[in-house]
Chains A and B, each alone.
Chain A
Amino acid sequence: MNGVHDMGGMHGHGPVAPEDEKHEPLWHAPWEARMLGITRSMTYPKGFNIDRFRHIRELMPPHLYLARSYYDHWYAVCVAALLNGGLATKEEIKSGHAAAGSAKRNDAARSEQVWTSQKTQGIFTRAIETPPLFAIGQRVRARNINPTGHTRLPRYVRGKVGVVQIHHGGHVFPDTNAHMQGEAPQHLYTVAFSMRELWGADASARDETCVDLWESYLDPA
């Protein structure tokens, strides 16, 4: 979707102000750590996945998306997942307490499962039968598509020509997975676009931007 999250190339948000690497804290407040722990360990509606998490994040109302910090986005996604999945009610989220008489589940992830989860979750490579359509060094054009659902194809590369730099093999396709329509794995490529191709004659002549793109985002050029 062409949402508020797809900010590449936008002006007017002020300078990027990176924190001093030596003194950058892991958390800026204790609640950020708790929110990370909640997000990693809470029980989600059946079929929920990381692509769905990202899509719900980009569906945040733009005024909230722009005003709230990183882990506060995670809060909004978890709340949306709980409400839409029927796991909690609005009144419960507001009060911080379970409604009287509601059942307590006993299947939450336990602390001893955490390290195994970290080691085994987050693997999105998949075996794929079809040969890759594109070869390293080949010129490709990103399709000009504007899906209302989730996509990892940023607006600023659509219609632009780049060169295939790396072939990563089969990967879960976020555009279907985010809508719980299956993993539908596709070949994934790193495609290099020259800055001049993306931003015109005023851009650097020697720099390029590399974007990981799924096969169905691309045509031969």
Chain B
Amino acid sequence: MTQHSHAHENDLAHRHDIHAELPADPALRVKALESLLTEKGLVDPAAIDAWIEIYESKIGPRNGAKVVAKAWVDPAYKQRLLSDGS
């Protein structure tokens, strides 16, 4: 794609000057977005709940501390982590 058409595309990305017409409070905007997407079948609220649950219990610093502590005492585990941290 040429530089010119990127610039054109860039101008279009947020072309709907919608943000000035929306409430300032993100809690209200996000609630409205979730309602809309649910009505349109573009999101399943149970899947939103499931993502939050995963981030609260399976992903993040709590689990990370356990992983590091295990690597201190388990050399094979440490090697596995170093070769593939994901």
Are B13 and A59 interface neighbours, CB within 8 A?
A: yes
CA distance A148 to B6 in the complex (A): 6
Contact count A vs B, C-beta below 8 Å: 169
B10 / chain A contacts, CB cutoff of 8 Å: 1, 59, 148-149
- Which residues of the partner chain B approach A33 to less than 8 Å between Cβ atoms? 52, 55-56
Closest chain A residue to B42, Cβ basis: A43
0/1 string, B7-26, CB within 8 A of A gives 1: 10110111110110110001
B67 interface hit (Cβ, 8 Å): no
B81 proximal to A (CB < 8 A) = no
Q: Bin chain A's interface residue count.
A: 35 or more
Contact A147 B47 (CB under 8 A): no
A38 touches B33 (CB 8 A): yes
User: Is A75 a contact partner of B52 (Cβ separation < 8 A)?
Assistant: no
The interface residues of chain A lying within 8 Å CB-to-CB of B6 are 1, 147-149, 179
Closest to A107 in B: B41
In whole angstroms, how far apart are the Cα atoms of A118 and B13 in the complex?
27
Other than A83-B16, A111-B44, give 6 A-B pairs with Cβ distance below 8 A.
A36-B51, A41-B47, A61-B14, A108-B43, A109-B47, A179-B9
B residues at A contact (CB < 8 Å):
1, 3, 6-7, 9-10, 12-16, 18-19, 21-22, 26-27, 29-37, 39-44, 46-52, 54-56, 58-60, 86
Name A's B-contacting residues (CB within 8 A). 1, 26, 29-31, 33-38, 40-43, 55-56, 59-61, 64, 68-69, 71-72, 75-76, 78-80, 82-84, 87-88, 90, 92-98, 102, 104-115, 118, 122-123, 147-149, 179, 181
